[in-house]
Amino acid sequence: MNPGNGSTPKIFILLGFSDHPWLERPLFIIVLVAYIFTLLGNISIIVVFKVDPQLDSPMYFFLSNLSFLDLCFTTTTIPQLLLNLWGPDKSISYGGCVAQFYMFHFLGATECILLAVMSLDRYIAICKPLRYPTIMHQRLCVLLVTIAWLSGLVNSLLHSSLTAQLPFCGNNKVDDFLCELPVMIKMSCVDTTFNVALLSIVGMFYSLVPLSLILVSYGFILATVLRIRSSEGKKKTFNTCGSHVIVISLFYGPVISMYVQPSDTNSQDKNKFMSLFYSLVTPMLNPFIYTLRNKDMKGAMRRLLVSLYHQGIQQT
């Protein structure tokens, strides 16, 4: 799609929540606070993983990748949303809109695969603990993460490139707070049956297949945990796995509803809040549920804070 083409708007108007003006200022405060917590939580995980040698394990390697991904994921959309909520200007440039749906789809698909990789890691750690160091060696971990990122990129290039070729016939009002593929496809003035079908089929693969692998992994984990004699060990593992399943449900539920179900089955207001949920709420909760409740991570953060405190005293 060429921006010089007369059928292509130079700017898009992100309607967002403008049909509920009373909601914009309270939502601005909520989104801003959530975004700050998202930044602080995920940056903390990345820094602690890099500086603490005791966290040199596959689990924390995957978690640091998830944190970096979530930072990128939220920053793709949330700053623009905050600008739109704060003032009357709801516009985004053609280039900004295209970049947004490329990046948003790329990072969302990557997270689907990465969450499945993390569940595989937990399955091997709990169900095959003696073989864990041999199986989850560094080269395999790097390979799995690389596959997750590359698969997300390929998926985005496929769908986003097809969407970027669609003519909009001057229609520049996006009934959402971001340029998301289902909404952009619906805006086109030509037959988009192929785009919708392809998005649904590939969306099913990227959501239902990883989710099925996650559920199978946690099924084996549950069976293993039930054989643990120690009640304390059972409780610890149940808490950890239960938290992980909650985060996975919070992410996959809206994604499946948006990308697998037909686009006309949900009201657009519902779609907006689902998009907001998996683009902000889940990345905000991930640090707390995945790591900040973890004893090793809390100990590493405590050691980092103590080290920074002593450095500050020495400099003064």
The pLDDT mean for the chain works out to 82
DSSP lists the bridge partners of residue 91 as: 13
- Which segment, 143-147, 215-219, 250-254, is predicted with the most confidence on average? 143-147
Q: Which two tokens stand for residue 273?
A: 């809040």
Q: Which residues touch 145 (CB under 8 Å, ≥6 apart)?
A: 61, 62, 65, 114, 117
With CA atoms as reference, report the closest residue to 114 among 293, 239, 252: 252
Q: At what angle do helices 193-226 and 138-164 cross, to 10 degrees?
A: 160
**Spatial separation of the C-alpha atoms in residues 71 and 264, rounded to whole Å:** 31
Given a contact cutoff of 8 angstroms between Cβ atoms, the answer to whether 74 and 279 are in contact is yes
Q: With bands split at pLDDT 50, 70 and 90, how would you rate the model's confidence at 1?
A: very low
CATH of domain 11-315: 1.20.1070.10
Chain Cα centroid distance, residue 186: 23
**Spatial separation of the C-alpha atoms in residues 214 and 204, rounded to whole Å:** 15
**Spatial separation of the C-alpha atoms in residues 45 and 64, rounded to whole Å:** 6
Domain boundaries, the chain: 11-315
- Say yes or no to pLDDT of 236 above 70: no
pLDDT of 250 reads 75
Share of the chain above pLDDT 70, in %: 84
- 163 versus 269: which is more confidently predicted? 163
By residue count, the chain amounts to: 316
Q: With bands split at pLDDT 50, 70 and 90, how would you rate the model's confidence at 243?
A: low
pLDDT tens-digit map of 176-186 = 888 888 888 88
φ and ψ at residue 52, rounded to 5 degrees: -105, 110
**Spatial separation of the C-alpha atoms in residues 70 and 108, rounded to whole Å:** 9
**Spatial separation of the C-alpha atoms in residues 310 and 99, rounded to whole Å:** 43
- In this prediction the pTM is 0.84
> Which H, E and C letters describe the chain, residue by residue?
CCCCCCCCCCEEEECCCCCCHHHHHHHHHHHHHHHHHHHHHHHHHHHHHHHCHHHCCHHHHHHHHHHHHHHHHHHHHHHHHHHHHHCCCCEEEHHHHHHHHHHHHHHHHHHHHHHHHHHHHHHHHHHCCCCHHHHCCHHHHHHHHHHHHHHHHHHHHHHHHHHHCCCCCCCCEECCCCCCHHHHHHHCCCCCHHHHHHHHHHHHHHHHHHHHHHHHHHHHHHHHHHCCCCHHHHHHHHHHHHHHHHHHHHHHHHHHHHHCCCHHHCCHHHHHHHHHHHHHHHHHHHHHHHHHCCHHHHHHHHHHHHHHHHHHHHHC
CA 232-238-241 angle, 5° bins: 140
Q: Which residues touch 99 (CB under 8 Å, ≥6 apart)?
A: none
pLDDT of 149 reads 95
Measured from the Cβ of residue 111, the count of other Cβ atoms closer than 10 Å reads: 27
